[in-house]
Amino acid sequence: MKPAPFETDLGTLAVFDPKALLHRMRQPKTWWRESQNVLDVPEVLEGKVALFPIGREGRFASRLEVGGTLSDTEKRLLKGTVGKLGLQVVGEDVFCGAAERLPGDGVGDRIMAIPDTGAYYKVAPGDYDAVVHVLDWRTDREFFDEDGEPLPTAPADFVVFLTRRETPFDAPMELPALDDLITRAEASKEALRVPRVVRRAVSTSPRGPRSSHVPLPEPEPEPEAPPAFGPLEPALVRRAYKDVLESKELRDPGTHWGTLVLKPRDPSLQTKDVTAEDLLTKVTRVRNEMRVLEQKVNAHEKLEEDEKLNLDAQVTAVYAAMARVAEFLADP
């Protein structure tokens, strides 16, 4: 079964039958977040809904199966299992995905398929136990294409298995975050290396001394040329964008060129052709993500106003640069 992608800002994987939560539909959507621990939610303690904390927000993929088994690839990528929690199925549709889809604020009485939020699965009515198997595959290059996008054959981050409940439900005392099962490698010294800054040599003018000497401004420090391969440095990325935006040799893609050729410094590596349409799509995606980041910074409760202003200035600069590139690519 193909995994269903979902994106969550609440960092929680939810498995529930909407008909079992109709009594929550008219309540605020924050009803399940009144406590920081999902095990304090009455429906979780009663075994009606399964809420698994992920440990961070982001984009993930999940799949659900009744009485299933892991494939050989999933067994190789398995990092651990969390659960069990209870699930009560009243109708025949069980949702598995972002906790933002939980009923509340007058929404949740109808089954709706919303992209990138999860998926509904057909499950027979009854009481079930739910466990989540956590897979670690996002550091494996075999599941990504040349552009760094996940392949259609990429596995799920979370595999949810349901089994018929044979004994009365007993909620666990603790519930670890799903992301805690994945060991994060520490950054290497090479990745943390700060590029050495070099200064351009200023040529002396052949003219004689002037009556009123005005000192020339010191040139802006510029990072040295990027290596043939290796991790990207933020300073080099900023320099590359600046060179592109200030270049006068660019032509409109609709009338002069339609493909950008990326040629690595290492001659043993192949070149990469990127169409103007694909580049516009990626630039637009980055621009939209920066807009979302700016909104999150402004709404952050723990940041001071001066910290928000400093972060907003950096985010706005990147967003403005992306907007100029998108306008250039989109304007015929």
Q: What is the mean pLDDT of the segment spanning 177-204? A: 62
Judged by average pLDDT, the poorest of 213-222, 292-301, 308-317 is 213-222
d(CA 322, CA 290): 9
| DSSP state for residue 269 in the 8-state scheme | S
Give pTM, 2 decimals: 0.58
Residue 55 and residue 178 in contact, taking contact as beta carbons nearer than 8 Å: yes
Percent of the chain past pLDDT 90, that is, above it, reads 39
**DSSP element (H, E) containing 249:** none
Token pair in block for residue 240: 């590359």
How does DSSP classify residue 9?
S
Q: pLDDT at position 279, please?
A: 78
* Confidence grade of residue 245 (pLDDT, cut at 50, 70, 90): low
Q: Given this model, what pLDDT does residue 63 score? A: 95
pLDDT bracket for residue 229 (50, 70, 90)? very low
| Average pLDDT over every residue of 171-176 | 91
pLDDT tens digits, residue range 193-207?
Answer: 555 555 555 555 555
Residue predicted with more confidence, 122 or 235: 122
Rounded Cα distance, 144 and 6, in Å: 18
Average pLDDT, the chain: 80
Using CA atoms, how far residue 198 sits from 21, 194, 224, 244, 325, in Å, is: 63, 12, 6, 21, 28
Do residues 103 and 184 make contact, with C-beta atoms less than 8 angstroms apart? no
Which is more confident, 117 or 228? 117
Asked whether residue 230 carries a pLDDT value surpassing 60, the answer given is: no
| pLDDT value at residue 184 | 64
Q: Which residue has the higher pLDDT, 324 or 130?
A: 130
What is the DSSP secondary-structure string of 58-103? EEEEEEEEES----HHHHHHEEEEEEEEEEEESSSEEEEEEGGGSS
Residue 165 contacts residue 84 (beta carbons within 8 Å):
no
- The CATH 2.60.34.30 portion of the chain extends over 4-181
Q: So what's the architecture of 4-181 in CATH?
A: Sandwich (2.60)
